Amino acid sequence: TKLFCAPYNASCVLVIDVETEKVRTIPTRIKGRGRWCGIARQGKKLFCAPYNATSILVIDAETEKIRTIPCPYRRSSSSGSGSNQGQLWAGIARFQNKLYCAPYNAD
């Protein structure tokens, strides 16, 4: 059994093998700070909520291939920082066949 950790400031996904207690990483090839916050499983895929990222990170749990889904949403204009992007959602959860991200500064 493997556990996957969403990369917040890291440039890779942390993978923990629960049975052997070995730890390794999968590179995302995406740099930046505070990119994804939270991870949830739907079927054989894992989805990471975009915090400062402009995309949703998708990890295939079997093949360990990584891809992204563009996320066009931007930061709320009422956040007071003057920035128009980033700090969107903090956390993600699955309910039935849908995934929900908890809004942080998303419109």
Per-residue pLDDT of the chain in tens (107 residues, 90 and over written 9):
899 999 999 999 999 999 999 999 999 998 889 999 999 999 999 999 999 998 999 999 999 999 999 987 765 555 444 444 567 889 999 999 999 998 888 76
Both structure tokens of 14:
């942390």
pTM: 0.84
Any idea what DSSP says for residue 9? S
The secondary structure of the chain in percent helix, strand, coil, rounded to multiples of 5, reads 5, 50, 45
DSSP string, 52-96: S-SEEEEEETTT--EEEEE----B-GGGSS---SS--EEEEEEET
Q: Which two tokens stand for residue 42?
A: 């739907």
